[in-house]
Structure 1
Amino acid sequence: MYQTDPPLPPQETLPTMYDLPSEDPGGPGLPDEFHDLQPQLLYETFRPPTVSASQIFVGTDLNLYYDVRHPQWYKRPDWFAAVGVPRLYDQRDLRLSYVIWQEGVSPYVVVELLSPGTEKEDLGQTLRDVNQPPTKWEVYEQILRVPYYVVFDRYSDRLQAFQLVADRYSELELTQARIWMPTLELGLGLWQGTFQGIDRLWLRWYDALGEWIPTPTEIESQQAEQERQRAEQEHQRAEQEHQRAEQEHQRAEQAELLLEQERQRLERLAEQLRKMGIDPEQI
Structure 2
Amino acid sequence: MQPFHFPVEQTDPPRPAWEVLPTMYDLPSENPEEPGLPDEFHDWQPQLLSATFRLQDYAADRIFTASDLNLYYDVRHPLWYKRPDWFAVIGVPRLHENRDLRLSYVIWQEGVSPFIAVELLSPGTEREDLGQTERANPDPPTKWQVYEQILRIPYYVVFDRYTDRLRAFSLNQAHYQPLELPDDRLWLPDLNMGLGLWQGRYQGLERLWLRWYDAAGDWIATDSERLSLEQQRADQEQQRADQERQRADQEQQRADRLAERLRALGIDPDDE
Counterparts in 2 of 1:31-70, with a 5 A limit? 31-70=38-77
Instruction: Give ranges in structure 2 of 5+ residues lacking alignment.
Output: 1-15
Alpha-carbon shift at residue 43 of structure 1 (Å): 1.0
Structure with bigger gyration radius: 1
Cα distance per residue 1:87-120 (max 9 Å; x no partner): 0001100000000010010000100000111111
Q: Which residue of 1 aligns with 2:256?
A: 249
- Counterpart of 1:157 (choices 161, 164, 170) is 164
Q: Which residue of 1 aligns with 2:242?
A: 235
Please give the alpha-carbon distance, in whole angstroms, between the structure 2 residues aligned to 1:211 and 1:73: 39
- Counterpart of 1:135 (choices 130, 137, 142) is 142
Please give the alpha-carbon distance, in whole angstroms, between the structure 2 residues aligned to 1:32 and 1:157: 16
Contact 1:51 1:184 in 2 (8 A): no
- Counterpart of 1:124 (choices 123, 131, 134) is 131
Please give the alpha-carbon distance, in whole angstroms, between the structure 1 residues aligned to 2:121 and 2:76: 29
Alpha-carbon shift at residue 165 of structure 1 (Å): 1.1
1:147 aligns with 2:134: no
Alpha-carbon shift at residue 208 of structure 1 (Å): 0.5
Residue aligned with 1:69, SS: coil
Residue aligned with 1:149, SS: strand
Counterpart amino acid of 1:24? Answer: N
> RMSD over aligned Cα, in angstroms?
1.5
Counterpart amino acid of 1:255? Answer: L
Alpha-carbon shift at residue 136 of structure 1 (Å): 0.3
Contact 1:88 1:95 in 2 (8 A): yes
Please give the alpha-carbon distance, in whole angstroms, between the structure 2 residues aligned to 1:89 and 1:30: 29
Alpha-carbon shift at residue 218 of structure 1 (Å): 1.0
1:223 aligns with 2:230: yes
Contact 2:68 2:85 in 1 (8 A): yes
- Counterpart of 1:178 (choices 161, 180, 185) is 185
> TM-score, length-normalised on structure 2?
0.90
* Deviating more after overlay: 19-28 vs 158-167: 19-28
Please give the alpha-carbon distance, in whole angstroms, between the structure 2 residues aligned to 1:12 and 1:141: 28
Counterparts in 2 of 1:188-203, with a 5 A limit? 188-203=195-210
> TM-score, length-normalised on structure 1?
0.86
Contact 1:60 1:79 in 2 (8 A): yes
Please give the alpha-carbon distance, in whole angstroms, between the structure 1 residues aligned to 2:160 and 2:173: 27
Alpha-carbon shift at residue 256 of structure 1 (Å): 2.5
Counterparts in 2 of 1:21-40, with a 5 A limit? 21-28=28-35, 31-40=38-47
Please give the alpha-carbon distance, in whole angstroms, between the structure 2 residues aligned to 1:226 and 1:10: 55
Q: Which residue of 1 aligns with 2:11?
A: none
Residue aligned with 1:248, SS: helix
Residue aligned with 1:15, SS: coil
Residue aligned with 2:133, SS: coil
Q: Which residue of 2 aligns with 1:82?
A: 89
1:92 and 1:30, CA in 2 relative to 1: closer, same or farther beyond 3 A?
farther
Alpha-carbon shift at residue 29 of structure 1 (Å): 7.0
Contact 2:62 2:91 in 1 (8 A): yes
Q: Which residue of 2 aligns with 1:10?
A: 17
Alpha-carbon shift at residue 30 of structure 1 (Å): 7.0
Cα distance per residue 1:142-170 (max 9 Å; x no partner): 11110110000000000000011111111
Please give the alpha-carbon distance, in whole angstroms, between the structure 2 residues aligned to 1:257 and 1:169: 91
Alpha-carbon shift at residue 51 of structure 1 (Å): 1.1
Cα distance per residue 1:161-186 (max 9 Å; x no partner): 00111111111011110011111111
Q: Share of identical aligned residues, percent?
A: 61
Q: Which residue of 1 aligns with 2:113?
A: 106
Q: Which residue of 2 aligns with 1:278?
A: none
Q: Alignment length, in residue pairs?
A: 253
Cα distance per residue 1:227-263 (max 9 Å; x no partner): 11111111101101101111221222233234459xx
| Structure with the higher fraction of residues in helix conformation | 1
Instruction: Give ranges in structure 1 of 5+ residues lacking alignment.
Output: 1-8, 262-283
